[in-house]
Structure 1
Amino acid sequence: MNTPATYTPPQRRLSGTKVFFISIAAVVIGLFVFFFLLVILISGLAAAAGSSPPDTRATVLEIDLRLSLLDAPVAPTLFSDSPASVVGIVRALDRAKTDKRVKGVFIRGETGGLAPASAEELRLALIDFKTSDKFVITHAQGLSSTSVIPYQAISASDEIWLQASTSIATAGLYSQSEFLGGTMELLGAQPQFIRHGAYKNAVNSYTEEGFTPEHREAMESLLTSIFDESVDNIATDRSLDRATLLQLFETAPHNASDAKTAGLIDRLGYLEEARDSIRERVGDDDITFTPIADYDPKGNFGKPVIALIEAQGSILPGKSGGDGLFSAATSIGGETYAAALDAALDDDDVKAVLFRISSGGGSAAASDQIMAAVRRVQDADKPVIISMGQYAASGGYYIAAPADHIVAMPQTITGSIGVFGGKIAFEETFAKAGYNLEAIQIGGDFAGAYNIDTPFTESQLAGYQAEMDQIYEDFVGVVASGRNMSREAVIEIAEGRVWTGQQAFERGLVDELGGFDTALRATRRLAGLDEDAAVRLERFPRPKSREELFNELLSGTASTGQDLEALSALMQRPEVQALIAIRQDAQARGAELKAPLPKVR
């Protein structure tokens, strides 16, 4: 948890000159984009006019795990498509099960960027996909990550191919924490932080030189839980006993031939050979390999509506960042998501809300704003079901706690019911450098509390402590009320400690273990529908279409002005100017509720 944002500075007004030039720039860019899109539109219409009926050829969906994955889909920007996401893949695989054109899935394996819960959820989706008697085949040009997480994502494949000249390095889990306590002392800096919870470990990065006993205990427990779950999953998928698999991890790395003998992979060969093998399996040389992001079968229309709200990233006051012309939204604005929940509340067609959260938290005030909106939806007799993604910790858990039903993956990182905040006073550091700050203060003593020079005074520290106390009391109260627990029981499992979904389930912080599909079944059930009933998932807030983004560009809205200002600032960066010069030469010649989430790899 970072310090709560209690003051929002006034919006900076643009000068008349800036408005004039921004408007001119908007018109110029708008005309350029207009003609650019016009050419695309004409080309598209021409192609459509002479196009043949929809492609009915057999297809194999391709998933490229070498690319980073978001947790949930985001809207495309004006110039780029929506990147791949875990929820997007899970939903596509569910639809593909009953699509006769889809014969199987081909995975390009290996990435070190998957969160444990993401790998686990992809694995479950692939296992479910195979119940339709369709295949899953993976090819990797080496499995160089030492983490069990990427391998867990592909272990349920019918076949794992490995290029013969490479190896598999899967061994375990590794997480590193940095400590600046010694650096602070050397520089003469004075960290001053307040926290509720001995396990609220973000503070330790600034105050300690190494792990505290509580910090080490929490990290070892978390990693052990994730590792044990991963080992069990992989052992099941590869038909290996646990002891044998652990021995293989202990003796990693293994060359491709040895890995095949040990049962970690199935076949050796190049990418092209794996593709040819799939063609032989299907019995059709003309099959297409379709990126799963491009697979978009017809959805359900006119069915009971479930509101789908997908939130990922840090929780911030105001509107969500991104969601504009040039960048997609990957933050959780309190105002944006409270409005989305209220829109779902007001929509008579919406029977329930499925709220997907993947966040380590952030602003206490924004978290509280979204949590209050969750309660308003519930007060209107519309159930709210939480699907936890990679993380739902601190502020992420604060939002989830009141929900009617909480679903988490066993390897989701959640909990962190605690608070921290403070500052670092650089008075002695500045003095060593001969740098001096002098302030003039009018009014109460707390007016200078957040300056970066002097430490807290006694009265400032007391006032700040009271703020932190109140946030923690509110957090405990929200969890106690939402989970039907006593305050004492909440405090016992709070202390700022992060838990895996499995551990949280055992402690009553989560109702059910599973992924998006499990949460969707629970949503149907709580909405009074059959668990397998056809429903229409409608996204709130509704993503903007490219046409709307284009109109915003032409109309010169406030967000357009902000985007243009950001673009202007980017263009002035020296590295960009250097690239422009090179190009010209070439043409001439021709947080509060913020959890310290570990990076597990």
Structure 2
Amino acid sequence: MTNSIKAMLAGAPMAIASDLAHDLMSIELPDAAMSPGPEAAAPVERFTITRGIAVLPVRGILTPSSEILERYLGWSTYFGLTEAVAELSERGDVSAIVLDVNSPGGMVVGCEGAAGAIAAAAQAKPVHAIAAPMAASAAYWLASQANSIAVMPGGIVGSIGVAMMASSVVGPDSHGEQKYFLTSSHARAKRPDPGTEEGMAELRRSLDEAEGQFHAAVSAGRGIAREALPAQLSVTGDERDGGAVFTGQQAIARGLADSVETRAAFYARMIETYGAAGATGPSVRFRARASAAAALARI
């Protein structure tokens, strides 16, 4: 028996570039991954530090605190990123933080808090992001809080917006059973029915609220006027036609990135600007606060 990532995340509001996430969503985990074993107690390496530069990978489909996806697939979580940037912003042996991003995005829940933690860290010391090769949707939400964003040649950023999949009961299932979803009298918004105008309006309200948070973060992080952002993201001139991804020069023209650089050139620039001579020790392993992680690192 296997457990697909798509099934694990079904029904959740997502800030994700669906076409870019297709292969990742199709991954299936064995039952063994769903049952904690002795390896679950081992610390997770979330960043490395070399010559005073901390490199914090942002990988995979982002979730609030899925220990399963972090441990078995090496994917980032908002909880893990928040802990890591808080630690790095206080460390005396870290002169700058790099977000090395390769993610199509992820869940909306938890993203705003992690983005806020990155923004706070950027007030304490330089934080730079590189799309290597993609920082899409929720991953761009995070990257937009860095002091600068570089894009690898052929890389992409953007997909700014929120989506979800919803279903409505229209007839009996394959077993001949008609299903009904009931809520208490004053809780219809718990299970809005997209088959009704009222239900669709509630789902749209929820998505628009999350998109508003996303736009506010990008506006603040990138220095783009909030009211100008929808038009700047549109591919047609109609403000409703946002949500696209952009390659390097397109992203720069729209204010979403600052440079196009190879990974080697980007890190050479980081070392030249922030690197501490002689500080070439081994990677530093960040151990999560065990009690908090054990309680929160679950989907």
Q: TM-score, normalised by structure 1?
A: 0.37
Residues 387, 515 of structure 1: 8 Å contact kept = no
1:475 has 2:217 as partner: no
Pick from 430, 435, 438 the counterpart of residue 180 of structure 2.
438
Secondary structure class of the residue paired with 1:425 = coil
**Paired residue for 2:251?**
504
**Paired residue for 1:462?**
201
1:432 to 1:355, Cα distance in 2 relative to 1, 3 A:
closer
**Paired residue for 1:394?**
137
1:376 has 2:120 as partner: yes
Please report how far the alpha carbon of residue 433 of structure 1 lies from its aligned counterpart in structure 2 after TM superposition: 6.0
Secondary structure class of the residue paired with 1:459 = helix
Partner Cα distance (2:258, 2:206) in 1: 31
**Paired residue for 1:200?**
none
Partner Cα distance (1:409, 1:371) in 2: 22
Partner Cα distance (1:360, 1:521) in 2: 26
Amino acid at match of 1:496: G
Amino acid at match of 2:260: L
Please report how far the alpha carbon of residue 404 of structure 1 lies from its aligned counterpart in structure 2 after TM superposition: 0.8
1:509 to 1:455, Cα distance in 2 relative to 1, 3 A:
closer
1:383 to 1:538, Cα distance in 2 relative to 1, 3 A:
farther
What do residues 412-468 of structure 1 show as CA deviations (whole Å, max 9, x unaligned)? Answer: 12111122224122423x36862211344213211322xxxx545443333322221
**Paired residue for 2:149?**
406
Unaligned runs of 5+ residues in structure 1 are 6-21, 30-73, 76-87, 89-298, 545-551, 563-601
Please report how far the alpha carbon of residue 316 of structure 1 lies from its aligned counterpart in structure 2 after TM superposition: 0.3
What is the 5 A alignment of 1:33-44?
none
1:503 to 1:401, Cα distance in 2 relative to 1, 3 A:
same
Partner Cα distance (1:464, 1:3) in 2: 11
Partner Cα distance (1:461, 1:394) in 2: 23
**Paired residue for 2:62?**
315
1:322 to 1:4, Cα distance in 2 relative to 1, 3 A:
closer
Please report how far the alpha carbon of residue 524 of structure 1 lies from its aligned counterpart in structure 2 after TM superposition: 4.1
- Percent of pairs identical after alignment? 24
Secondary structure class of the residue paired with 2:68 = coil
* Aligned-CA RMSD value: 3.7
Between Structure 1 and Structure 2, the one with more helix by share is 1
Residues 13, 162 of structure 2: 8 Å contact kept = no
Secondary structure class of the residue paired with 1:321 = helix
**Paired residue for 1:339?**
83
Pick from 516, 536, 541 the counterpart of residue 263 of structure 2.
516
**Paired residue for 1:16?**
none
Residues 480, 486 of structure 1: 8 Å contact kept = yes
1:419 has 2:162 as partner: yes
What do residues 562-598 of structure 1 show as CA deviations (whole Å, max 9, x unaligned)? Answer: 9xxxxxxxxxxxxxxxxxxxxxxxxxxxxxxxxxxxx
1:479 to 1:439, Cα distance in 2 relative to 1, 3 A:
closer
Secondary structure class of the residue paired with 1:397 = helix
Secondary structure class of the residue paired with 1:424 = coil
Amino acid at match of 1:373: A
Amino acid at match of 2:214: F
1:337 to 1:499, Cα distance in 2 relative to 1, 3 A:
same
**Paired residue for 1:175?**
none
Secondary structure class of the residue paired with 1:520 = helix
Count of aligned pairs: 249
Residues 502, 513 of structure 1: 8 Å contact kept = yes
Amino acid at match of 2:90: D
What is the 5 A alignment of 1:237-248?
none
Partner Cα distance (1:389, 1:306) in 2: 17
Partner Cα distance (2:197, 2:251) in 1: 38
Amino acid at match of 2:147: D
What do residues 295-324 of structure 1 show as CA deviations (whole Å, max 9, x unaligned)? Answer: xxxx97xx5x11110121001011443454
**Paired residue for 1:104?**
none
Partner Cα distance (2:96, 2:214) in 1: 25
Q: TM-score, normalised by structure 2?
A: 0.70
Amino acid at match of 1:478: A
Pick from 105, 110, 132 the counterpart of residue 361 of structure 1.
105
1:525 to 1:466, Cα distance in 2 relative to 1, 3 A:
farther
Unaligned runs of 5+ residues in structure 2 are 1-8, 15-34, 234-241
Residues 169, 180 of structure 2: 8 Å contact kept = no
Which has more radius of gyration?
A: 1
Partner Cα distance (2:54, 2:66) in 1: 20
